[in-house]
Every structure is written in structure tokens, then in C-alpha cells.
Structure 1
Amino acid sequence: MDSCHHGFVIEDANMAANVVCPAGDGGDTLHVHVSLPSGHSTSISTDSSTRVLDLKTAAQEAFGVQFLQLTFNGRLLEVSQHLSELGLSSGDTLMATIVTPQIVASAGAVALCCAGQVVTWGEPQCGADSRMVRDELKDVRQIVASLSSFAAILADGSVVSWGDPRSGDSSMVKDQLKNVRQICASCSAFAALLADGSVVTWGAPECGADSSKVQDQLQHVQQLHASSSAFAALLEDKSVVTWGYGECGGDSRSVQDQLRQTKQICSHYGQDSFAAILSDGSVATWGYPPGGGDSRRVQHQLKNVQHLQASWCAFAAILENGSVVTWGGKDYGGDSSAVQHQLKSGVVEISAASAAFAALRADGSVVTWGSPQQGGDSSSVQDQLQNVQAIQASFGAFAALLSDGSVVTWGDPQDGGDSSAVKHQLKKVRWIQGIYKAFVAGLNDGSLVTWGDPKCDASALAGHFRLL
């Protein structure tokens, strides 16, 4: 059957019959094909003045999905372009891929970035109100959240930030924010890594926004990492430079001699310490001692370390043989002695909530420890935790994606540990994402399901997602 809606004619026998897209302003008629990697394709007739955004929206509705990315002759198309700019001829084929959106959250707001576009929701004071920068948020490549602000890297390497002015106002350094490769956030500050290996910071000075004392050392930087109030930069020569609040990891002088052959740094903006895997497989730690900054109790076990994960006051290390070593706050997962017999081998991945850990084993089973209220006790769902493919964490809960596309949750109900209200929707799930105190699941048809903190509920924005 043929459907004609606002200037588009779409021909696809398996297509949904209700496609809504605006027409262009007039131009040469084009008949193009849009094809998925699976071979499923649809033919669309429109005019050359149509925007890529509108063509993409038509294709999304034709395929019954919500997030597509279009390429032509191997080149990614920007949604702001018009078809007349692409050199298209009738009969040409555009390739479409279904993309997974990037979703990040501050303490009270959520930002979804997909195919260059951004949608925000939640509490305005925490960054949900992005209207002031709406015209600038185009062709977004990466988005990062602090506790109350967001920062986005655009395709041209510039940065747009918004939210709480104390951390989200980058106007003072805007001229320096060019060719940005990475952005990292502490609780109230941001650090941007530029293509030349230098670093630009902004936000609350006490949380790492003031890098003036180490600015001459911040050259040839490869990666940036953040704790709650400090930053750590891994340099090209494998050394480390730190700044910010000293007790939260801004002062690494006690381990500086060890940080000469660093492979990986671990922390996040809820943590007050850092841990680093060194080239010989050992670990160096610094920052708040009770929160994981002091690993002397288990230092003799920290050999052949492959991966590190952090809760808010503890660390967990996966060793080469698949065993796990933990340290830090006992009530935050630093003590795994109760389940150590299950952590002697076979662990392939660890996820962390604020005060608990969940380890995914090679056989698809799950082991949890830490605060029982925040996900450390999974006994109520243990019989369901089989054939687990992936685990995600919110502030106080976990969600496991099973091989059959269903989801199992546990932990604090208010943080997404109780998904019973949306259980009937959680089928054919393709991916899950923890977002502060809630979860988002992406289904095979491209739709989204959210549960947990009501501030993170995306259902009211369902009509906007088709525009991404």
C-alpha cells in the first residue's frame, strides 16, 4: 500500500500506515531507498529541500523504531542538512542503523542524547531546563552530568553546558573549549581534555574547577577521571597529575612514586578516592582512607588486576583468574567475605550502586554484597538471576537483562529496585541503563520504558523521542 503524509510518499508493504513528517519548501522530487543492515528497506518519495531530520523521522516510523542514524556513501548525515546538500539522485540508497541513545543523569534531571539531538526532563534546577541552549544543542557527540549540570561536546569539538550556574556555566572558558575530546565531571565541576592534550576546567573551585596549580603539568594528557571533588589526569608517559580537594584525591603525593606506570584509573563523582591499576598488575590508591583510599589491608592480594569498579566508599578488583578483591567501607561493599567463596573464579564484570556491588559470572549467574537495602542482597530474586547478559546499577538498586529479553530488578524500590509496575512492558528489551535513581530500558521496537524515581519518568516525553 502507499501512504502519503505531508509531502512524503512511502512505499512498504510492511510499513505502519501513519507517518507524520513535514514536507520541504519545494524542490526536485526524489525517490530514495532507506535500508537496514538486515536487508529490510523502505522507499520514500519527497523533494530535495526536505531536511535529513524529517526523512529520518519518516524512516523511523516506517520501520517501527525510534532511533536511527543515516549514512550516505559511508558519510554520517547531520539532521540539520537538507537533501539538496547531499548530492542525492533518485534511486539512491541511504543506510540506516538503529542506535542506542546515550542517557546520563544529574541528581534530579535526565538528558538523552541520540543521533546528535538532546532531550532533557526532571527538575529544572538540576539541568532539566535546557531551553537557553536549545539552539546550540545540535550535532551532539557526548554528554556528561555533574550533580546539577550537564555539558555536551558537539561535532565541531565545541562545548555547550547548562544547569546550576555554579557548575554549569562555562562562559568564562568558552573561547578555550575548542577541539574537545573528552569531558569529565566531579560533583560540581567539569574538566575538558582538548585534542592537543591540554585541559580546561570550570565550575566550583573547591571541587576541582581550579587547576591553576598544575596547569603547567597538564600536557600530553590521555584521559581524565573524577572523584567527588577532585580530578586525575593520566598522561601519555603513564604518569598521573591530580588536583582539587586533597582529601578526596586531589593530593596524590603519597603514591606519586608508584604512579609512573599507570594503566587505568577508577573513581566516579560519588567517590572520595582514586584507585589505579599499574603496569605490573598491582594497584595504587589515594584519597579518603576509609572510603577506599587506603588499600594496605589487601595490598598483598592485588596482583594481576584486570579491572576496577567503585561504589561510593569502596572498590572491587577483578583479578586475571576471575577472582575478586574488595576494600574500603564495610557498609559500602568493601567487605565481601560473606560471598567470597562465590568470588574465587569466573567473574567477568562488576557493577556498583552507591553502597553495593553485583558481580556477573561467566555462567550467567550473579553474586551481590554490600548494603542489603541498596542492592547488596539479591536473595529475593536469586532464582530468576540465570542467563544474565548485563547488569546496570542506579544509586540504590540493580537491574539485570536476561538472555530472553526480560529484566530482573532488586534493591531500593524508590531507586528502581521494584519494576513490577512496568513488568508487562519489559519484554524484548535490547538494553538497560541506570540513571541515578532510576532505570531506562530500550525495547527492540525502539520504545523506552522507565521506572524508579518519578523525576526520571520519560513517559511524558514519548512524543518527543520520534524527533531524535
Structure 2
Amino acid sequence: MNAAVHVPRPSRTPSAPGPVPPPSVGGRRGRGARRRDRRRAPTGVRRLGAAVLALALCGALSPVAPGAAVADGSDATPLTRPDVTPGRVVTSGALTPPTDLVDAVALASTDAPGHDSALALRADGTVVGWGDDGHGQTSVPDGLTGVVAVDTAGGSSLAVRSDGGVVAWGDPGSGVTAVPDDLGPVTAVAVGGRLTDDTACSVAYAVRADTTVVRWGGAASATCPGLGDEYDVPEGLAGIRAVSAGDTVVLALRDDGTVVRWGPGLAAADGVDPATWQDMTSVSAKGEHAVGVDASGRLVGWGVWGEAGAPTLEGVRAASAGRQVAALRDDGSVACLPGCATPPGAPRFQAVSGGSDQVLAVLAPRSDLPPAPSAGPGPVQLLPGYVGPDYAMNPPAGLRDAVELDATSFAAGGNTAMAVRSDGTVVGWGSRYPVRLQPPAGLSDVVDVGVGAGFALALRADGSLVPWGSGGVTTLPPDLGPVVAVDAGGTQKAVRDPDGGPPTVTTCGVALALRADGTVRTWGSTGATCRALTEAMAAPADLTDVVSVSIGDEYAVVARADGSVVGWGPSWRSYSTGLALERWDSVTSVSTDRARIIGVRADGTVRLWGVTGEVPVGPLDAPVVAASAAQTSGFLLGPYGRLVLSGGPTGEQQGRYTAVAGGDNYTLAIAVGGSAAAPAVPPLGATTVTTRRIGMAAGVATAFRYPANRADPVWRARVFVDRSTTARGLRVGIYADDDGRPGALLSTASTDSVVPGAWNTVLLDRGVTVQAAGSYWLVALAPYAGADDGSTAAPRLVLRGADGAPPGTPSLVSADRTLTGLPGAAPTDPDDPGADPATTWREGRTPDSGPASFFAST
């Protein structure tokens, strides 16, 4: 890390920062976490093409801090970036990426058992490193920006910037950090070598703009015996577009698709010699292994593979060598060869890197996300796992049409919850639900509700507020004006008895309103005991451009249009200890409680602060669209309505939800669907419910054919489940029709919380646009859970029949009676109709066994 520094001339002027996407209003304390806008995930992953390492970025090139060597590439034509959507990095091994690494566009990792390390190029042109840093190879130089490609091996790392300049850092012994002064602009780099407990040896290569290749490094040092002439670039080599280096082999990919190999090689290498490879689109060398992908999508390999032999695979678009070869296939899945574990996640990856005992991959953000569930109407549920002794928090019977939810999570309000119903009225409940908190008679047209310390507020559709309860907080400010969001908080104050008696406890409520002009107002109880708190909770006078508000007991926090977060109040300083607000950028909504703060950012990632400081948020499979904080936990709501809990019994709750609120020992959520009436004519399926029962054993899929009623996109499926059902799990799918049989599987959905005697609603994994002239199959399955001897599992799924069965259209059942999932594979490419189901279908027991009360809708 002691090489000289050569700072290049900036080739472009800094770009102005882009505007922050218009944030949504919502995400307040204890409020239902729900979707406030219709942000969709970025456009889906497109084919990566040739393995050119040019990833141009917008923005100026800033000087690099001392400790790195820089080759000047200024005045070069800026490199262009491929169409790669930033995504989260996942791994199959122990090389765990940073939890906030959700915007990677390229990866590089080593093949060094016991010394594994990795680099990721982020969408903003910066680089992050993790893993072994014994030689500084993952200590990315401060100020390094404008990067378009990275590589690492042998204790050294390289980066290419968008002007073609090269930056090197890591172990100086081999000379890789001594970047040649006359290197000039380059289009690709590679670093190879070996790193063990005793050896740190690296060598670097660069493809220059004139398509020639330059080598440097590999010098003898205390830990490097020196890499000899066999590592030199072959004389006269030109016409090169990519280079990759391992420990014993270097590969250069020519423009004509042929490959040049040099290095000491291997005495007994399995597979096809790279020197004979033809029509290649990418090559990769790492350690003692080499792989390549040809234009037909075939993977070829060469190196020490052990008994498994060289890898062979079709349908590949990119690959990375190593003891664990990572192959990215056309369907977005990752193959890990030979026989190793693949990274977790659905088959929608877009970049990979192999290694010694792990595979790294960049998950592609989904392009087929359904809209977030609409805010009800749906039933309110008391979620399992957070239920304390206060079972009175069970929602009132018949509350199945809630659209908004709030609950207290501080002692001052007791255990109290309120819900807004679809007709605009309000209902409340709880173990300490006081008479004074019962909504006023005739209250209607409500769109939101807040429960505070001894009081409640209702926001009406016209922007007016209706308060009730006790304390001066129920007197609204005279100049409040139209309100777009509101929250309620407060606490209790104990006043000592001078005569030694029990203290007097006074409830002090505080309200926070976001006005239509982006300013906020606070007001509260006016008694002598509460006056100091009310005054201290006054919003900063210069606070403007607010888009989201939330209030706790003695502090408030808001998000502004520029993505920044502002907090104030008597306890803000102590509660925000460890809260690095400078990292809370691009926040569109906030939610807070006495013990935690959650901020949802524009890209769907979250910031979470708890009582002990910032809390790492584990990888999420999809962007978060809303969040809600409570004293015992944080709640993150994804675009499928999935609810992820952070704190307490963590993990994803079964079911799909539109809103969530919680307190000290309970969690409430509004579930998707509920008992709303089925539409008279859905796009696909039947909505009538007859007394006819259609029984099916677990493990047997049953398919019902329906003509489409109209052309429409569908995002959810609903099926009426009979009361006699004993199965708890339900899998449903939409299949195309293939000459009177289920054909391609178009979309799937599932639940493990079947409700007998009711319509069950499940959200599809991807939307399907049905065509008015087409026919489709709706398939239902209770997963098999029987014995290993092939006997039928005991649980049964029983559906109800529908009226109007078309003649000659009986249901079909799967010949396989031990299915744990729906047959067939849903496609990941919107242009791909999907795979044919891998099963045989036969007619049901009776010709009139179809159709079922089963439909798909928007």
C-alpha cells in the first residue's frame, strides 16, 4: 500500500444529483404499514452479452486517497455500461456480503481457501470489499469513484474507471500496486495469483484501448517466489477484448471468439484446452481452473476438477471459474459445479462469481412484482408469536373489512387498538379500552386514525380532523388547515406527593399533523403537569417539505422530500444515540415508537434503529414498500404483502397483509382478502358456490378448465374452501391450455393458513394477462406430507363446486399422487411461455367434477 499515487485529470465535470423520487405519505408510528404509491421494481434483467468489463457511470472522477496506485486514463472515450440492474448480493458459503449491499452491478472474488475475499462494484461507481484483508486487498481506497470494473487475487486488487484509468491497492510485494505510468486508457483488467498462509503472489494484466495486453507485477518478494517468463504476454498479441487470470493459467479472448492461453498450465488438466475454444463470448480463469461460454450457451471447462471431471452445461450466458464454478443460465438460475450449493433465492440472478468454497451472485430485482395489496378491506388478525397475557387484543368478532389500523404501544394508552372500516367508520377495542376513547356518534368518512395517550384522532377525507378523549390535546389549533397525515403519541407524568403519599399520574397526549403545504404542527395537553412536554414537542419553525411524520412518547421524527430525516423532542437525543442520520438518505417514509425507528428508502431498502443503536437489516427478497415500528419489533411490508418481523420471533409471517400495528406484547395486522364478496364476473373462473363438494387428497393436483370472460391482468386467485377441509397448506396455479390439457405454468401462489368455510385469497407470484378468446386451467394442490411408502397423506382439501359446468369439461387430476409443489416450472422471462408441466393428467372420477368455486382477478 506504499506505491506512488498518480492522480489523473478529470475527464468530465460532475453530474448534478438527480431528483429524489416523490416520496409517499405514511408509515407513521404504530400505523398500518402499507403501500402509499405504486412504485414498481426496476425493469427486469436483460441478457448480459459478452463479458466486457466496461461499466460506465455518470459522475465525476474524484482523486483517490494515498495508499493506491493510479494510472492516468484521462481524455479517453468514456466506457459504456451494460444493461445490468443493481441488485442484492447473496452467497452459498461463509463469505457473507454486507447486509446493505443491495445495489451491486458486478462481482469479483478469490479462490483462496482460508483467505477468501470479494469486491462488489456498486451502481454509484464505488467499490465495497469484504472477507480476508490480510494484505489490504479489500480496503478500498478512500475517494475511489467512477469505477466500472474490479478484480482481485493474490492479495492485490484492481479497478478500472470510466475514463480508462486503473487503480491498484493491496500487497505491494509483487508489484501489482506499481501501475505502469505509460499504461494509458484500458478497457479491461485482470489480476491473478495465489494467496496462502505462506504465499502472497499476484500478477496483473490490462487490455488497452488498442486491443493489446500489458502485464505487470509478479515480482519476487518476501512471500512471492516470483512469477517468471511463462506469465509474460505472448509477443505480438492483439485484437483482444477481455482477459482473465488465475494461478497457473491466463486467458485472453480475441474479437473473433478464439482464446489465447499462456502460463505454466497444468500437468494433467481435465477438459478441453482453451487454446482450441471457438466462438466464445466470455472466458474466466481462477486458481487452477478455466471456464468459458460459447455463442450457443454451452459451458466448457479446463482444469483440475477431481473425480467429477470437467463441467458441461447448456443454456449458460456467463460463468466464473474457481474450485466452485458459478454458471449463470439463461433462465436466471445459477448452477454451482461440481455439485456445490447454489446461492439462495429464486432463479433470477444476473451476475456471478465462483470461489474456493462458495458462489456469490447478484439477485435481479423482480420486474414482475404485483402491485402491493390494496388497503383492505380485510380481517384484522392477532398474529401468533407476539401474544402476551393480554388476549383482549383479539379483534372484535365480525371485523373483516378494515382498511386502516393503529394501536398503542406505551403504558399511557393501555392496550388499545382502533381500525377504520371500509365504510369510513371507526371501531376500537383492547383490555384497557376506556369509555372516553369510544368514537363520537356519527363519525364517518374517516380515512385514517391515530391512538395516543388518552386521546384519539380521525382524519377525514376532506382533510379535517376529529379529536376525542381527554386532555387539552382534543382542542385543535385554530389555523391548522387541511391535513394529509396525522399521528398521536404522548406519555404519563408522575408528580410526587409532598406528604409522602402515592404519586399523582397524569396522562399527557401529543398530536402531530402534516399539513397540505408540507409543514407540520404539534399540540398537546395543556395542564400544568403536561405543559413542559407540549412546549418541548413543538416542531422546528423552519421545518418544510415534509412528506412523512411519526411520533413516539417524547419525540417525533419526520422525512423530508430530499430524503433526509429530522427529529426533535425531550428524549430525541437519548433515543437517537447511535443513529447515524448522515446515512439515512433517500428516505421516503418513517415510522417510530418509544424504542425504535424505521426508515423506508426510495430503492426499497430500510434503515432500522433500535434501543442499542442501528440494527442490521438482513437481506430481503424484494423491496420494502412500507414499515411500522412498535416497542417490541419492527415490521417490514413487501410488495407481495409479505410481513417480515425484526425483533422478537423474527422471520416471515405466513399469509399476506396490507397493514400492521403493534404494542408491547401484541401484533395486529390486516390480512389480504377477507370475506369480501366475489365479483359477479371475474376475468377468469367461477364465483358461484354450490353445495357440491370436490375432495382431493394431499399430494394430488386437481385442474379445472375455464374460458376467459374478458381480457384483463390478474394478480390474485380466490378459491372457496369447504368447512370439511383438514389440509392447512394450499398451492394454486394458472396454466395455459394445451389442446384440452394443462400446458405451460404461467403463475403460482400459496398459503399455509387455509381458512375452511370461506373464500381464501392468495397473491400470484407474477401477473398474468388472460386473453378473452383463450381458455386456462386453475389448479389446486394440498402439498403431500405422507409416509415414505407412498401412501396418501391424511389431510384433505375440499373445494366447493360452481354452477354452469360446461359440458365435456371435467376436472383433471395428476397421476403423481405425492406432489409437494405444483407440476411444471413458472418462467422467469416474460417473453418465455414457460415449461411444460412434468406430469401426466387424467380425468377426474366423475364427468361433472368441474368446475370449482375458483377464480382469478385483479
Q: Answer yes or no: same fold by TM over 0.5.
A: no
* Structure that is richer in helix per residue: 1
- Structure number with bigger Rg: 2
Structure-1-length-normalised TM-score: 0.44
TM-score (normalizing by structure 2): 0.26
Higher relative contact order (CA 8 A, sep 6+): 2
